[in-house]
Amino acid sequence: MRKSSRMLERVRQISVLPRVARILIFVALFFGIGHLAPHGWAKTAETDGQETSLSSPGLRLPGDVQKAAEEEIARERKKLESRVRPLLKAEPLGFDGKTVRRVWRGLVTLPSRIPGFVQHVKEASRLLGLVGSLVLLAFLVALFYSFFGQRKVLRKIEKALEPLRFHMRSSLDPYFLSIARILTASLIPLILFGVFTLIRVFFPYEASWLTLLGRLFRIWAIGALVINFLREALTREHLPIPISSGISIFRVARFITLYTLISIALFWSLQVFRIPADVLALLKFLVSLTIVFSFLFLLLKKKSIIALLPDLPYRSYRIFVHGFDRFYYPAMVYTFLTGLLWCFGYKALCKVLWIKTWAVVGVFLAIMLSYHVIRRLITRWIDRRDETDQAARFLFKALRAALLYVTVAAVLLSALELLGLLHPIQKMLSFPVAVLGETPLSLWVFIKAALVILAFVLFSRLLRAWLDYKVYPRVGLEEGLAYAIDTFLNYLLLAIGLLFSMRAVGLDLRVLMVLAGAVGIGIGLGLQNVAANLVSSFLLVFGRRIKKGDWIQVGDTLGAVREVGLAATRVWTRDNIEYLVPNSDLTSNMITNYSLSEPLIRIHVPVGVSYNSNPSQVTEILLKAATENEHVNKQREPSVWFTEYADSSLNFELLVWIDIRQVSRNFVRSQLYYRIFEALGEAGIEIPYPQRDIHIRSGFHRGEAPE
Q: Are 369 and 387 contacting, i.e. CB atoms less than 8 angstroms apart?
A: no
pLDDT at 299: 83
Among residues of the chain, what percentage have pLDDT more than 70?
Answer: 68
Residue 184 lies in a domain: yes
Handedness of CA 645, 649, 650, 653 (dihedral sign): negative
Q: Are 33 and 84 contacting, i.e. CB atoms less than 8 angstroms apart?
A: yes
Q: Which amino acid is at 103?
A: V
Three-class DSSP labels, 550-580: CEEEECCEEEEEEEECCCEEEEECCCCCEEE
Average pLDDT in the 181-205 region?
Answer: 76
pLDDT at 682: 86
Residue (of 503, 416, 407, 406) closest to 455 by Cα position? 406
Q: Which of 580, 597, 614 is the last residue of a domain?
A: 597
Range of the domain at 185: 99-107+127-353
pLDDT at 17: 39
Please say if the pLDDT value at position 226 is more than 80.
yes
Q: Are 576 and 626 contacting, i.e. CB atoms less than 8 angstroms apart?
A: no
Residues 539 and 114: their CA atoms lie apart, in Å, by 99
Residues 655 and 623: their CA atoms lie apart, in Å, by 9
Which 3 state secondary structure label does DSSP give 28?
helix
pLDDT at 563: 75
Q: Are residues 561 and 668 in the same domain?
A: no
Residues 29 and 349: their CA atoms lie apart, in Å, by 8
Please say if the pLDDT value at position 73 is more than 90.
no
What confidence tier does 19 reach under pLDDT thresholds 50, 70, 90? very low
The end-to-end CA distance of the chain, in Å, is: 151
List, in order, residues 6 or more apart from 443 with CB less than 8 Å away.
429, 430, 433
Q: ∠ CA 593-594-596 to the nearest 5 degrees?
A: 70
pLDDT at 55: 40
Which has the minimum average pLDDT: 365-369, 449-453, 669-673, 703-707? 703-707
State the chain's mean pLDDT as an integer.
Answer: 75
Helix H segments across 430-527?
Answer: 443-466, 472-475, 479-505, 509-525
What confidence tier does 22 reach under pLDDT thresholds 50, 70, 90? very low
pLDDT at 161: 60
pLDDT in tens, 505-542: 666 655 566 566 655 555 555 556 666 666 676 677 66
Range 149-154 contact pairs with CB under 8 angstroms and sequence separation of 24 or more: 150/184, 150/185, 150/187, 150/188, 153/184, 153/187, 154/180, 154/181, 154/184, 154/185
Q: Are residues 171 and 223 in the same domain?
A: yes
Q: Are 218 and 264 contacting, i.e. CB atoms less than 8 angstroms apart?
A: no
Q: Which amino acid is at 18?
A: P
Integer CA distances (angstroms), 391 to 377, 385, 461, 471, in order: 18, 10, 12, 11
Residues 303 and 320: their CA atoms lie apart, in Å, by 16
Residues 673 and 665: their CA atoms lie apart, in Å, by 12
Tell which wins on pLDDT, 71 or 468. 468
Q: Are residues 589 and 669 in the same domain?
A: no
- Looking at the chain, how many residues does it have? 707
Largest CA distance in the chain: 169
Neighbours of 541 (CB within 10 A): 23
pLDDT at 541: 64
Please say if the pLDDT value at position 151 is more than 60.
yes
pLDDT in tens, 456-484: 889 989 998 898 888 878 776 666 667 76
Q: Are 541 and 564 contacting, i.e. CB atoms less than 8 angstroms apart?
A: yes
Residue 340 lies in a domain: yes
Q: For 357, list phi and psi in degrees, rounded to 5.
A: -120, -75
Q: Are residues 321 and 196 in the same domain?
A: yes
Residues 563 and 570: their CA atoms lie apart, in Å, by 5
pLDDT in tens, 34-54: 444 333 333 333 444 444 333
Q: Are residues 575 and 609 in the same domain?
A: no
Q: Are residues 622 and 569 in the same domain?
A: no
Count how many domains the chain has. Answer: 3
Please say if the pLDDT value at position 155 is more than 70.
no
pLDDT at 662: 82
Please say if the pLDDT value at position 156 is more than 70.
no
pLDDT at 174: 62
pLDDT in tens, 375-433: 989 998 888 888 778 888 889 999 999 999 999 999 999 998 888 888 878 877 777 77
pLDDT at 402: 92
Neighbours of 347 (CB within 10 A): 14
pLDDT at 213: 77
Residues 299 and 322: their CA atoms lie apart, in Å, by 17
What confidence tier does 663 reach under pLDDT thresholds 50, 70, 90? confident
Q: Tell me, what DSSP letter sits at residue 611?
A: T
Residue 151 lies in a domain: yes
Average pLDDT in the 119-131 region?
Answer: 58
Q: Residue 456's Cα: distance from chain center in Å?
A: 16
pLDDT at 1: 43
Q: Which of 353, 383, 399 is the last residue of a domain?
A: 353
Beta bridge partner(s), residue 601: 658
What confidence tier does 600 reach under pLDDT thresholds 50, 70, 90? confident
Please say if the pLDDT value at position 692 is more than 70.
no
Average pLDDT in the 91-96 region?
Answer: 82
What confidence tier does 92 reach under pLDDT thresholds 50, 70, 90? confident
Residue (of 595, 598, 534) closest to 564 by Cα position? 534
Which has the minimum average pLDDT: 39-48, 100-109, 315-324? 39-48
Residues 64 and 52: their CA atoms lie apart, in Å, by 12
Which 3 state secondary structure label does DSSP give 162?
helix
The winner for highest mean pLDDT among 118-127, 232-241, 682-691 is 682-691
Q: Which amino acid is at 112?
A: S
Burial class (CB in 10 A: 0-12, 13-18, 19+), 148: exposed
pLDDT in tens, 242-256: 777 778 888 888 888
Average pLDDT in the 642-667 region?
Answer: 87
R_g over Cα of the chain: 43
Task: Give the H/E segment covering residue 601.
Answer: strand 600-609
Q: Which of 331, 353, 375 is the last residue of a domain?
A: 353
Q: Tell me, what DSSP letter sits at residue 51?
A: G
Q: Are residues 584 and 645 in the same domain?
A: no
Residue 406 lies in a domain: no
Residues 327 and 415: their CA atoms lie apart, in Å, by 19
pLDDT at 411: 92
Tell which wins on pLDDT, 104 or 322. 322
Residue 46 lies in a domain: no
Tell which wins on pLDDT, 399 or 660. 399
Average pLDDT in the 132-160 region?
Answer: 61
Please say if the pLDDT value at position 339 is more than 70.
yes
Beta bridge partner(s), residue 592: 553
Q: Are 621 and 675 contacting, i.e. CB atoms less than 8 angstroms apart?
A: no
Tell which wins on pLDDT, 706 or 44. 706
Integer CA distances (angstroms), 631 to 574, 673, 691, in order: 16, 14, 36
Q: Tell me, what DSSP letter sits at residue 170?
A: T
Full DSSP string of 219-261: HHHHHHHHHHHHHHHHHSS-SSS-HHHHHHHHHHHHHHHHHHH
Three-class DSSP labels, 78-143: HHHHHHHHHHHCCCCCCCCHHHHHHHHHHHHCHHHHHHHHHHHHHHHHHHHHHHHHHHHHHHHHHH
Q: Are residues 677 and 550 in the same domain?
A: no
Residue 305 lies in a domain: yes
Beta bridge partner(s), residue 582: 568
Please say if the pLDDT value at position 284 is more than 90.
no
Q: Are residues 592 and 623 in the same domain?
A: no
Residues 288 and 281: their CA atoms lie apart, in Å, by 10
Neighbours of 83 (CB within 10 A): 14
Which 3 state secondary structure label does DSSP give 664?
coil
Tell which wins on pLDDT, 59 or 446. 446
pLDDT at 165: 54
Average pLDDT in the 627-653 region?
Answer: 88
Burial class (CB in 10 A: 0-12, 13-18, 19+), 132: middle
Residue 53 lies in a domain: no
Q: Are residues 581 and 656 in the same domain?
A: no
pLDDT in tens, 543-578: 667 777 777 778 777 888 887 776 778 887 877 788
Residue 205 lies in a domain: yes
Q: Are residues 548 and 677 in the same domain?
A: no
Q: Are residues 262 and 344 in the same domain?
A: yes
pLDDT at 134: 60
